[in-house]
Amino acid sequence: MIVIPADVKESVRQRVKALCTTAGECLQHKIDQPSIGYRRSGGIAGSAYLQRNHVNFNPLYLIENHHEYVQQVIPHEVAHLVVYQCFGKVKPHGKEWQSVMLEVFNRPPLVRHSMTSSTLVQQQFEYQCACGSTQLTIRRHNKVVRGEQQYQCRRCKQILTPI
């Protein structure tokens, strides 16, 4: 179990509150404060649960990459909730979300993080396509092995195959 210091939790709470206030003022819409949870979920930095108005943050990344987390991940997840409250159900990283990230939070609309964690070591499996090789997580690898899923290269659009 990961113990998150009280001052870190408070800084997260304050950041979420400030982002909601900023969004409400900029968009002239009442933004409800979400509940906040801390639960590790693989390599995912955070999650937004739209109908529950809840955000979940990965404590490992939060503690080990605090500055980047506060600057990028927290706004990313709060933007999902803001978009849902203002526009309803839309594409997760669509134009509304990108607009909130850029114009309201003044942050780049990055979909993936580049943080690392010394305690979070995931087994990776090598796959290939026409572009070369890439790594898949154990979760994705197991889905391929079970025949439940195929993954496609983002560049060449070819189906990834295990090496």
Closest by CA to 33, choosing from 43, 42, 23, 41, is 23
Which residue blocks in 2-129 are alpha helix, DSSP H? 6-27, 59-64, 66-68, 74-87, 95-99
> CA 39, CA 55: separation in Å to the nearest integer?
10
Q: Which residue has the tokens 């709060």?
A: 78
Catalytic residue status for 77: yes
- Name the active-site residue from 77, 96, 103, 126: 77
Burial-class residue 118 by CB neighbours within 10 Å (0-12, 13-18, 19+): exposed
For residue 161, list its beta bridge partners.
Answer: 128
- List, by residue number, the catalytic residues: 77
